[in-house]
């Protein structure tokens, strides 16, 4: 089932940070919230899994409803069904070792240790981690390793929806690419709904099935990333979202050679060659 926001407003103290939000996030897709800092991206995520309640309106998540009337029992059921990876993953670590962190959630959900071990082995293989990490302190891992462990913790909970707040913040370019690659693999091979916030526009456009452009607490545009990208030069409201060196080069080549160039999975040399050929 999809995630839907119906006439949602949210305010911190007396200031509204989300205004009249009506949106639908398709299930089993990779969805990205793009927008500047303070635009409301993280607040949207927290409304999905119940960390926050809407000031007005309602959020529907599978068979759950998050609104002002949600009680503790319903809230706990929502929290159990939706995974959440914090921007700073060390905030969700509490155990002495990675192994303790990994088994804690599944044990509470009565998932057998045999199934959990099998899942850990499979996920460690996917995320390029070896068994030595099980004995390490999660707080002493590198930034990229912390993110991997935090994502694995959520995947072990067998939830259909995984939310990630800025999952590549503070990582080097290699680690950023790796995290996006792993998340896309999980989405495509498990059918889990992945929803992330990010500033990494170039990477997001390569993996997203659906994007939301958010500014000042409002949805500016949503839809297929390539269709939105193609619209950027015709719609001044969108241009501020796509100011990266790669996209600026793309714009310049398109103007100079009067061609429409593909975006996805094309490096700079390939773009130049395509422009020179007039493809």
Return the HEC string of 104-149: HHHHHCCCCHHHHHHHHHHHHHHCCCCHHHHHCCHHHCCHHHHHHH
DSSP label at 97? S
* Whole-number pLDDT of residue 271: 46
Does 270 have pLDDT greater than 70? no
Least confident residue range of 24-33, 219-228, 264-273: 264-273
- Using one digit for the tens of pLDDT, what is the confidence trace for 188-221? 999 999 999 998 887 888 889 999 999 999 999 9
Q: What is the spatial distance between Cα 245 and Cα 261, in angstroms, rounded to a whole number?
A: 15
Burial of 276 per CB tally in 10 Å (0-12, 13-18, 19+): exposed
Find where tokens 């070896």 sit: 130
The residues spanned by each domain of the chain are: 3-228, 244-279
Of all helices (H) and strands (E), which one includes residue 223? Answer: strand 218-223
Alpha carbon distance, N-terminus to C-terminus of the chain: 40
Q: Which residue has the higher pLDDT, 58 or 262?
A: 58
Least confident residue range of 68-72, 74-78, 123-127, 229-233: 229-233
Nearest to 163 by CA among 185, 192, 195, 188: 195
Q: What CATH code is assigned to 3-228? A: 3.40.50.300
Of all helices (H) and strands (E), which one includes residue 269? Answer: helix 268-277
Q: What does pTM read for this prediction? A: 0.86
């Amino acid at each position: 089932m999809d995630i839907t926001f119906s006439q949602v407003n949210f305010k911190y103290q007396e200031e509204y940070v989300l205004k009249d939000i009506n949106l639908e996030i398709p299930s089993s897709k990779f969805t990205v919230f793009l927008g500047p800092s303070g635009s409301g991206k993280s607040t949207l995520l927290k409304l999905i899994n119940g960390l926050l309640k809407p000031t007005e309106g309602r959020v529907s998540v599978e068979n759950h409803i998050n609104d002002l009337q949600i009680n503790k029992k319903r809230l706990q059921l929502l929290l159990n069904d939706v995974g959440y990876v914090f921007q700073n993953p060390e905030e969700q670590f509490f155990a002495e070792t990675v192994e303790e962190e990994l088994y804690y959630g599944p044990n509470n959900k009565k998932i057998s240790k045999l199934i959990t071990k099998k899942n850990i082995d499979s996920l460690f293989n996917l995320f390029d981690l070896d068994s030595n990490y099980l004995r390490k302190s999660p707080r002493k891992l590198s930034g990229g390793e912390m993110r991997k462990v935090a994502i694995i913790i959520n995947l072990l909970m067998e939830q259909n929806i995984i939310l990630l707040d800025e999952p590549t913040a503070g990582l080097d370019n290699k680690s950023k690419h790796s995290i996006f690659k792993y998340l896309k693999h999980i989405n495509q091979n498990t059918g889990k709904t992945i929803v992330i916030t990010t500033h990494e526009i170039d990477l997001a456009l390569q993996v997203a099935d659906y994007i939301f452009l958010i500014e000042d607490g409002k949805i500016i545009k949503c839809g297929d990333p390539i269709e939105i990208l193609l619209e950027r030069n015709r719609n001044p409201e969108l241009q501020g979202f796509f100011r990266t060196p790669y996209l600026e080069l793309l714009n310049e080549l398109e103007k100079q050679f009067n061609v429409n160039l593909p975006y996805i999975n094309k490096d700079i040399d390939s773009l130049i060659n395509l422009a020179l050929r007039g493809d």
